[in-house]
Structures are given as C-alpha cells and as structure tokens.
Amino acid sequence: MNLTISGHHLDVTPALREYVLTKLDRVTRHFDQVVDISVLLTVEKLKEKERRQKAEVTLHVKGKDIFVEQSHEDLYAAIDQLMDKLDRQVCRHKDRLQDHHHPPAKRLDAGLS
C-alpha cells in the first residue's frame, strides 16, 4: 500500500502525520485491499479571523477510487470527520463487493418417496 501525506499552505508535522496514520488504521482494518492512499491537508485563508482547515483523501482500491473531503475550523476535527466519512464509504464498498446470494436449495429426489 502506497501512502502519501502532503500539505498545501501548511507543513505536515510528525504529530499530524502520526494522527492521520492512526486514523487510517481503522479504515485499513475493515478493508485490506487498498492499493494507494493520498491525503492532502490544506489551510485556506479566507479572511484574517476566518480560517478553514480542509482535509481530503483519495483511496484507490481495486476497481474504484473513493474521494472524501471535509472542512472544519480545527484540522484535527476535520481529519476525524473525514475518517468517519471514509470508513462509511469503505464499508459500503465492501458490502457491495460481497456476494449476498444464497446457494439454491437442493432438489429432493422424487424417486425416494
């Protein structure tokens, strides 16, 4: 699994990197067929008092790309909400991949009765 954590208008500190890694463990625990993960952490300076922190993830699994983004005033809160969304989407994707069909009931032999 390839993992890329990058920042836009922000330095990715070791504490931020470790926080993202611990949160991603929950997602990879549910679904282990992840090929590539790209995390982008962004600080948007709209006004002096109004700063938005944005986190986005692109998760590449076999046959599908899952993209999630979340904004919040606090970057850690944005990461928490992002991982919740990502976890729900990964579980939904995993559920769609599973075969929910039951095998047909075997026919009874008519000649035995």
Does pLDDT of 110 surpass 60? no
Predicted TM-score (pTM) of the model is 0.79
Q: How far apart are the first and last CA of the chain?
A: 58
pLDDT of residue 49: 59
- Among 59, 3, 6, which residue's Cα sits nearest to residue 30? 59
Average pLDDT over residues 90-103: 80
Domains along the sequence of the chain with CATH: 1-76 (3.30.160.100)
Distance in angstroms (rounded) separating the CA atoms of residues 84 and 72 = 14
Q: What does the pLDDT look like over 42-91, one tens digit per residue?
A: 998 776 656 689 999 999 988 889 999 999 989 999 999 999 999 999 88
As a whole-number percent, the residues of the chain with pLDDT over 90 amount to 49
Q: What is the mean pLDDT of the chain?
A: 85
Does pLDDT of 102 surpass 60? yes
Determine the residue type at 75.
L
Tell me which DSSP letter residue 62 carries.
T
Average pLDDT over residues 19-33: 87
77-82 long-range contacts, CB within 8 A, separation 24+ = 78/53, 78/54, 79/19, 79/20, 79/23, 79/41, 79/55, 80/23, 82/55, 82/56, 82/57
